[in-house]
Copies of this chain bind each other. A is one copy, B any other.
Amino acid sequence: MSALPAVMPIKASSLKVACSSCNLRELCLPVGFSDQELERLDTMVATRRSVHRGDTLFRIGDPFEAVYAVRTGFFKTRVSSEDGRDQVTGFQMAGELLGLDGISTDRHSCDAVALEDSQVCVIPYGQLEHLSREFTDLQRQFHKIMSREIVRDHGVMLLLGSMRAEERLAAFLLNLTQRLQARGFSPCSLVLRMTREEIGTYLGLKLETVSRCFSKFQEDGVLQVKQRQIRIMDQDALHKLVNGATG
C-alpha cells in the first residue's frame, strides 16, 4: 500500500544553487555584492538543508557550527525558561538569517522550528569568519545583519513592555506585511504561517486574546479574517494603533 508521495520533493543536497544565481540575493547576506564577490560567496555557501514542517533546524544546547539563510519556507525561534514557559523570539522568512545566537557561547541558545517544509543555505561560521576577514563588504554586511537583529529585538521589547493587545497585533501584522512586500507579495493580503498560539507566545498574549483581537479588527472593518487568510482593509487604522493616536 505505501506508495511514494505524488509530488516528490527535490532532494536538496544534490542541487547546487549558488548565491550568484539566487533570487534572494538582494535581501540576504550578499546585498549589493558584485558578480565577482558573489562568486567568492558561492565557495562558502556550499550546502543546503531541508527541514520538514515541525522539525527543528537546531535546538538549545546544540553546538554552533553555522548560521543559516532561509531559502524557502518559514521558521520560528523560541527560548524557554527552566520551568517550561516559552517565548517565541521571532519569525524568519526567505532571505533572513538564523543562528546568530550561537556565536556567543558556541552553542545555540534557542530552538529554530520550521513552520512549513523549508530549505536553508548552510553558512559554516568558520568560513564566514575567514572570508569576511579578506572581504570588507562581507564583513560590513554581516555586522549590519547582527546589529539589525539587535535593533529588531529592541523594537519587540518596546512592544512587549508598553503596548496593549490590539497594538501588539497591529504592529505584528504591519511588520509581517512589510517584510512580505519586500519579497514581492501583496501589502494587504497574507496567509499566516503560524497558529494563534504561536502569535500569542511571540506577542506575550494568550491565544484567546489574539483570536479576540482578530475578531475585533474584523468587526471594526480593519481586517478580513478567514482562519489564517488575512486581508488588510484599513492599513491606516493599524498604523494609528501602533503609534498610539488614542484611537
Q: What number of copies of this chain does the assembly contain?
A: 2
Contact with B along A86-104 (1 / 0, CB 8 A): 1101000000000011111
CB distance from A153 to the nearest CB of B (A): 4
Residue pair B244, A85 in contact (C-beta under 8 Å):
yes
Residue pair B150, A87 in contact (C-beta under 8 Å):
no
The interface residues of chain A, by DSSP majority, are classed as helix
Residue pair A101, B154 in contact (C-beta under 8 Å):
yes
Tell whether A104 pairs with B154 under 8 Å between CB atoms, given A162-B81, A162-B86, A243-B81.
no
Q: Name A103's closest neighbour in chain B (CB-CB).
A: B147
State whether the Cβ of A155 lies closer than 8 Å to any Cβ in chain B: yes
Which residues of chain B are near A146, meaning CB under 8 Å? 100, 103, 143, 146-147, 150
Which residues of chain B are near A191, meaning CB under 8 Å? none
How far, in angstroms, from A104 to B145 measured CA to CA in the complex? 7
CB distance from A54 to the nearest CB of B (A): 22
How far, in angstroms, from A146 to B201 measured CA to CA in the complex? 25
Residue pair A204, B143 in contact (C-beta under 8 Å):
no
Contact with B along A63-76 (1 / 0, CB 8 A): 00000000000000
Residue pair A89, B204 in contact (C-beta under 8 Å):
no
Q: Name A148's closest neighbour in chain B (CB-CB).
A: B104
CB distance from A105 to the nearest CB of B (A): 8
Residue pair B133, A129 in contact (C-beta under 8 Å):
no
Contact of A154 among B102, B153, B161 (CB under 8 A): B153
Q: Name A129's closest neighbour in chain B (CB-CB).
A: B139
Q: Name A160's closest neighbour in chain B (CB-CB).
A: B160
Tell whether A83 pairs with B243 under 8 Å between CB atoms, given A150-B100, A151-B101, A153-B153.
yes
Which residues of chain B are near A132, meaning CB under 8 Å? 133, 139
Which residues of chain B are near A136, meaning CB under 8 Å? 129, 133
Which residues of chain B are near A201, meaning CB under 8 Å? 161
Which residues of chain B are near A83, meaning CB under 8 Å? 243-245
Contact of A149 among B79, B86, B134, B150 (CB under 8 A): B150
Tell whether A204 pairs with B147 under 8 Å between CB atoms, given A140-B129, A154-B110, A244-B81.
no
* Interchain Cβ contacts under 8 Å between A and B, 6 examples: A87-B157, A101-B150, A101-B151, A104-B144, A129-B140, A150-B153
Known: A87-B158, A129-B143, A161-B203. 4 other contacts (CB 8 A): A81-B243, A129-B136, A153-B157, A157-B157
